[in-house]
Amino acid sequence: MTSMMTLMGIGDFFNTILSPIETGISFILMYAYKGLSFLIAPNLGVTWILAIMTLTVIVRTLLIPLFIRQINSARSMQVIQPKIKELQEKYGADRERLAIEQQKMMKTEGVNPMASCLPMLLQMPVFFALFWVLRAMSTAESPELYRGYFFKQNPDLVTSFKGADFFGAQLSGQFWTSDWSSFGATQVLAIVLVISMSALFFITQKQITGKNMAPEAMQGPMAQQQKMMLYLFPVMYLFMGMFIPIGVLIYWVTNNLWTMGQQWLMIRNNPTPNTPAYIMWEERMIKKGLDPEAVMADRRAKRSKAPSATPNSRNVAGTKPAPPRNQTPKDNASKDDASGLVQLPPEKGDVESPPNGIVRQQIQRQQPARQSRSNRTTPKKK
């Protein structure tokens, strides 16, 4: 009895979290369908398919900032793997010291292991809500069981979805059926979608492990997990796809297609250092006449939100370029006595080569010359 009440409490908790998300999803899907109905026609399978694809694209677009944050965090963890390995070799026997040194190193490098997991955890409720809304549209038998406020208020939309078909395949149907004598277009479309979904996932994982993982990251437990995911998840998709409605499969295929394209763009334009993708990216940058190291340094500065110059670095009108590092302020003072300005070389902690010719300036203060104790003359007493 206690375990049953606990499960009911967990279910109510998740429903509380998913309910507002399901409301937003039902709102987007409803107006996507109504908008496409004006362009194509209502109650058609192709209209609902395009509405589901539109919903998926909108949701994934809203989640792009979380995706970028997740990728950057995971990449930072990959980059510091050699340092972690060095610490493990040095303090392997002392677990407490190893944990302390790893925390120090991650703090110095600005890496947070949880930062790569948090965006994924935030995305999961959205994907669960998408799944349950589309599944309820396919399987729920009464409006009370519909998911999403706007579908509960507009049950005729759910009726339209259940009656829609695409070349004879019911969008509310699934591969598994109790009457195999009715095997037909629904089962064929389900097979095509499940195979497409599995293939897209495999290609996405393959381009990550094959192009965007450093050699040192290909060893260890994380690499083994990546290899397991590469082959295990497509098999799981093939099994689960037999019991998932066509409408949900369309969302899943569109979602995997988006993920593959998004990963391809990320790997091509912002690859992980010391990977095959990074070598190809360097070659493209050199062909364009750009310095790959400078480009990466600029990107790291933007991610860390570091200022490009110190607060004292201001562009003073009419000033000359900053002197070379081997030139002292005294040598330069003779050239700028007329303006009363002395150009100082960069100090420790300052940017050595500020952009746009920004130079540091300091007003030369006229200080009275100090006399040594031996040269001081004391007034004679009268």
Give the model's pLDDT for residue 88: 80
What pLDDT is attached to residue 242? Answer: 86
3 state DSSP class of 360: coil
Vertex 198 angle, CA 270 and 162, to 5°: 115
Residue ranges in the chain modelled with pLDDT below 70: 1-13, 113, 115-116, 118-120, 216-223, 303-382
Please tell me the pTM assigned to this model: 0.69
Per-residue pLDDT reduced to its tens digit, 218-251 = 666 666 777 777 788 888 888 888 888 898 899 9
Q: Do 272 and 313 touch, CB atoms closer than 8 A? A: no
Count the neighbouring beta carbons within 10 Å of the beta carbon of residue 19: 13
Tokens of 341: 């300005």
Characterize the bridge pairing of strands 341-343 and 361-363. Answer: antiparallel
Find the farthest-apart pair of alpha carbons in the chain and give their distance in angstroms, rounded.
133
Cβ proximity of 187 and 241 under 8 Å: no
Q: Which pLDDT belongs to residue 27?
A: 94
Are the C-beta atoms of 141 and 158 separated by less than 8 Å?
A: no
